[in-house]
Amino acid sequence: MKLYCATGNPGKLREFRLAGEVLNIDVEPLPGIKSIEAPEETGDTFEANAILKAEYYSRFAEGPLFADDSGLAVDALGGAPGVLSARYADSGLSGHDADEANNQLVLKNLAPHADRTARFVCVIALADKGKVIQTFRGEVEGQLLHEAKGPGGFGYDPLFYYPPFGCTFGEATSEQKFGVSHRGKALRQMLAYLTR
């Protein structure tokens, strides 16, 4: 089965393709996605943004397409950075440098708080020809360390300590992370739905 994925984020795409391989599903980035103007992510929930992206990009796809919206919700920060996770520090930077700025701001804002609990959330929306078919939500609970640890993953992974692993998502392998992650859970729900 071939499924188009609407993401320009190489970290996410790597994880989706890896999961697809295990289940014999060919996850392909939407052809030409880089030349399609990205929609503004105006929703204030992960669901709203995932639907908005899936409906928008599926108009350009020949077949079903999924889009995800994901982020980090920190309890002591009232759920922030939430839907603003990718642009929390508003640094104007991209890639690793943007991640670094976002991580520093989370650490700064969290410094006065004893409660370091947080979760990653991922909502995947599946759509065809501009209409959403279904959404799938995955979450994973962890704790934020006081400093980054581990070279792997992307975004907030090096800060996100996952107790069952005894290490951060930045120290875990992609396979280990995907087995328990918010994105892995949401994707497996979608694949179960598609093969039901």
Q: Which residues are catalytic?
A: 69
> Closest separation between CB of residue 65 and ligand IMP, Å?
15
> Closest separation between CB of residue 196 and ligand IMP, Å?
26
Which residues lie closer than 8 Å to 124 by C-beta, 6 or more apart? 50, 66, 67, 68, 135, 136, 137, 138, 183, 186, 187, 189, 190
List residues near ligand IMP by CB under 6 A.
9, 41, 69-72, 85-86, 102, 120, 153-157, 169, 181, 183
Q: Which is nearer to ligand IMP, 30 or 72 (CB)?
A: 72
Angle 188-149-163 (CA atoms, 0-180°, nearest 5)? 50
Distance CA 136, CA 12 (A): 16
> Closest separation between CB of residue 150 and ligand IMP, Å?
11
